[in-house]
Amino acid sequence: MNEPDDYSPAEEAVSSATLRIPVALAGLRLDQALARIFPEHSRSRLQGWLRDGRIHVDGGVPDAKRKVAGGELLSVDAPPPPEAIAELPEDIPLRVVFEDDCLLVIDKPAGLVVHPGSGNWSGTLLNALLHHAPGLAAIPRAGIVHRLDKDTTGLMVVAKTLEAQTDLVRQLQARSASRHYHALVHGVLERDGTVDAPIGRHPTVRTRMAVVDGGRPAVTHYRVRARLERASLVECRLETGRTHQIRVHMAHIGHPLVGDPVYGSKRSRNPLFEAFPRQALHAFRLGLAHPRSGEAMSWVLPMAADLAALLRASGVDFSS
């Protein structure tokens, strides 16, 4: 039977509920009826609840393909939405570089998402921070003041008090905090330089950033540290901190990062580069003024182990 086109689900329909299946849905398969009753949920989610026994019809666990007659008692015991666990503490190991009562500096590994979001509602740096320092639950974003992309490694600073968070944000806005990265890029750069180009959302691919007119100001300084065959190791210093800034700026000047799945070359003539599983970007130096004392502080990490191994395999033994 075709689905009726004149049924509007009741406004009060919710994901955890006990209600009667509307007579207007008679003849539909149960999974089709559920999609009409709970349009805020995808069919795959509703089918998962059926498989998990979270949906009952007249007290029994039904077959998704059974047809409904209308009037049956429908009970749904939906799990909490993923957003509900987005800010729960999780015992995720952290590489702590420095910690006092104001600051926490960590060495973020590749693969660790910073903030919970679509597709990553748990297992993030925020969840790890809340376990490491429960007091961060009282600080917006658990004290996070800047971020690194999921597969970028290296130094991040976290504020442990509201006052420290405010101060660190001001330092970042004033461009007085220093952030240096190592990046392995395609192509041989002949000289050092600066990219001063505004960054905003890509005009057609909204999940990407791009250099666009009307974007936010963005400045990246780069210095060549080593030259390889068809590649260069550069040190990038950020003046601004736009989303994907180094990745976008280096691609903009024709030297995308090795291993970058979004802005990089899809194919490389170097099999070592093709096999590298992430964008070759590592935040190795961080400098700032301590929020309480005003003392100048800085931290330096050695080259990320996987990036150092890639360089050695390419004939460059580089140490920070």
End-to-end CA distance of the chain: 69
Q: What is the pLDDT of residue 115?
A: 87
CB 67 within 8 A of CB 30: yes
CATH architecture of 82-174: 2-Layer Sandwich (3.30)
Domains 17-79 and 82-174 share a fold: no
CB 193 within 8 A of CB 278: no
Chunked into runs of 10 residues, the chain (320 residues) has average pLDDT values of 32 63 94 90 86 92 91 88 75 97 97 85 93 94 94 98 94 94 96 97 91 96 95 96 96 96 82 94 98 97 96 81
pLDDT digits 0-9 by tens, 232-282: 999 999 999 999 999 999 999 999 999 999 998 767 788 999 999 999 999
Instruction: Render 228-264 in DSSP notation, one character per residue.
Output: ETTEEEEEEEESS--TTHHHHHHHHTT-PBTT-TTTS
**Is 149 designated active site?**
yes
Catalytic residue among 52, 107, 149, 260: 149
Angle among Cα 142, 143, 144 to the nearest 5 degrees reads 95
| Type and span of the H or E element at 19 | strand 17-20
**In a 10 Å sphere around its CB, with 0-12 CB exposed, 13-18 middle and 19+ buried, how is residue 119 labelled?**
exposed
pLDDT digits 0-9 by tens, 140-158: 999 999 999 999 999 999 9
Distance CA 1, CA 128 (A): 51
Residue ranges of the domains in the chain?
17-79, 82-174, 175-320
Distance CA 239, CA 246 (A): 11
Q: What is the pLDDT of residue 6?
A: 33
Q: Which residues pair with 120 in a beta bridge?
A: 117
Distance CA 302, CA 4 (A): 64
Give the CATH number of domain 17-79: 3.10.290.10
Q: What is the pLDDT of residue 8?
A: 32
Domain 175-320 has CATH 3.30.2350.10: yes
Place of tokens 């182990």: 305
Distances from the Cα of 27 to the Cα of 22, 44, 62, 69, 70, angstroms: 11, 21, 15, 6, 8
Q: pTM, whole model, 2 decimals?
A: 0.76
CB 132 within 8 A of CB 99: no
In eight-state DSSP terms, residue 183 is E
Distance CA 266, CA 280 (A): 14
| Residue percentage of the chain with pLDDT more than 70 | 92
